Chain A
Amino acid sequence: MTSQNLAPIKIDALVKDYGSLRAVDNVSFEMKPGEIFGLLGPNGAGKTTLISTIMTLEEPTSGSVQVFGHDVTKEPQITKTLTGFVPQELIHHGYFDVEEIMNFHSGYFGLRKNKERIDWLLQKLSLYEHRKKKVKALSGGMKRRLLIAKALVHDPKVLLLDEPTAGGDIELREQLWTFVEELKSQGLSILLTTHYIEEAEQLCARVGILQKGKLRRVGPTRELVKELTKREIGIRLKQEPTSDPTHPMFLRRVGSELIFETPSTMGAGDLLDQLNLDLKQVADLNIREGSLEDALRRVLGDKVATGGAV
């Protein structure tokens, strides 16, 4: 196996207990090189705990965590050099300004002369003009961007982003995701957790769904959505029908539009066939695919808050 085929992150039967609370419960999954992988789940699901074990901030109760084939407890210096980490909580750094913090952080990785990259990162994340400011004087969004700049200062091979857009404004989110896509296109592997499910749906090739420490689902985002959600097909007829069809997938009628709920795998053509409808009668077709948010709600149950805040 060449190094390029190694899983950036491989979690194997990971368990993490806090006293009697099992925060991570026998989780196994693997990231693929160069992908953006999303870890989703409600508050308290264990996302941060899982990421903390990758960074050795928490020790696994049992199970193992590997970064590009290196065990994080056995070769921590190597796994930490391969990883960039953006924590969920903001960090203040009482004494220092932005540039000093970047220089120290770079230095910890053995890169004490890294001005070119540091300047570039600060520019990319709109911090360059603030580089002489004390970190404590920065806004929340700027502090968040500084965390991201720090995480990338040593050109890591896998980036862990724990709720990177929490509390951030729209501008920050768009700028960040553009940058993340750019890094991804150059081959960086990325693991992220986010509250914004639409973000995950747009960005992540694959997602894992955590609930109460258990990995409920893991797979390609599109496939999960297909498997777990229904699609709505609306057929607008040229003439308002006199009665509703008796097809089992029929949902409701709005004026001249018949709305059906079908499995995601079923095409509109199949439905038209089954209905025995002549195409000449059809004025328009309207297809609404299920979303990742619908899929998540299916997996987690309806008690979960909606409106993106999952």
Chain B
Amino acid sequence: MNDALKHSTDLNVQLRPWDSFMALYQREMARFMKVIFQTVFTPLINSVLYLMIFGVSLGKSITLDHPVSYLAFLIPGLMMMGVLNNAFQNSSSSIISGKFSGDLEDLKVVPLTSTMILWAMSIAGLTRGLMVGLVTLFVGEAFSYVVDGQLIAIAQPLWLLLFLVIGGLMFSMLGVVVAFFARTMDQLSAVSSFVLVPLIYLGGVFFSMNGLHPFWRTVSRFNPVLYLINGVRYGLLGIADVNIWTASVVSVVFLGVFYILGLRALKVGDYQRW
């Protein structure tokens, strides 16, 4: 037998945290790359529909107090919506399917720390989110070219990237939290449809906060998604309903909160099979 395959009784442990982390990141990526077609194709269809119905048909009758067309106004909101949904999807479905199959326990019996698991899942969710965001941007550019006769030049690329990254990480972490504490599949979808969808829709994907009743404007200020969407809108178009610095500080604070919740979920959460 090859010596390398012989059992070694050496008790010195060599941890390779970077490789452990990368292995999990690669698994999380491989999981959605197996269904890459749906992953990218579904949001592509969604954006086309939204842009056709809202951007093109309704858009003509909507005026904004921003110097951009309603179609252009929609694109950053749709991008962020795609990022958030897919980031949440990726981490939560990974954990839930792990609870069904029993392989979530695998993560608990190998030298992966909660921090490593959280980052691997979050960055994978972010990666998927960014792919969808990019697809949405391309579709948006095509629509803009056809309908408005011009391509949109990205106003502030770094701000754009910053908010996409924060949003992707934040919702991946939220996915970890919700999936860990969900006791059933129904609970997970309840959180999706009664918490996430309203947050995203009321976060200003389709409208400017300036047009809202003052009461709702105040309520909106507590919605983290509002800052993410306005940040992205500022990055792409150079316009926003909130100050960009306020938006970034609030977003980073929320990211910190979700990070702590995510770590907590991984530390005390239940890895056992359903």
Contact = CB atoms under 8 A, between A and B. Distances in A.
**A and B form one complex:** yes
Contacts of B273: 89
B30 A94 contact: no
Interface residues of B, number: 41
Interface in A55-77: 55-57, 68, 76-77
B14 to A, nearest CB: 7
Contacts of B17: 110
B20 A109 contact: yes
Interface stretch (B97-105, B216-224, B258-266): B97-105
B103 A81 contact: no
A90 B106 CA distance: 12
Contacts of B108: 55-57
Contacts of B2: 116, 120
B153 interface: no
Interface residues of A, number: 45
Contacts of B272: 57
A77 B113 contact: yes
Interface string B1-33: 010111111010111111110111011001100
A18 interface: no
Interface stretch (A100-108, A201-209, A244-252): A100-108
B7 A77 contact: no
B198 interface: no
B195 interface: no
Nearest to B32: A95
Given A80-B110, A81-B111, A157-B11, A92 B102 contact: yes
25 contacts: A3-B11, A68-B11, A77-B15, A77-B111, A85-B109, A91-B105, A92-B100, A95-B30, A95-B31, A95-B34, A104-B26, A107-B19, A107-B20, A107-B23, A107-B24, A108-B110, A109-B110, A110-B15, A110-B16, A110-B23, A110-B111, A116-B2, A117-B4, A186-B7, A187-B7
Given A110-B16, A183-B7, 13 more contacts: A55-B109, A77-B13, A91-B105, A95-B30, A96-B30, A106-B23, A108-B24, A109-B16, A110-B15, A110-B17, A110-B18, A110-B20, A188-B7
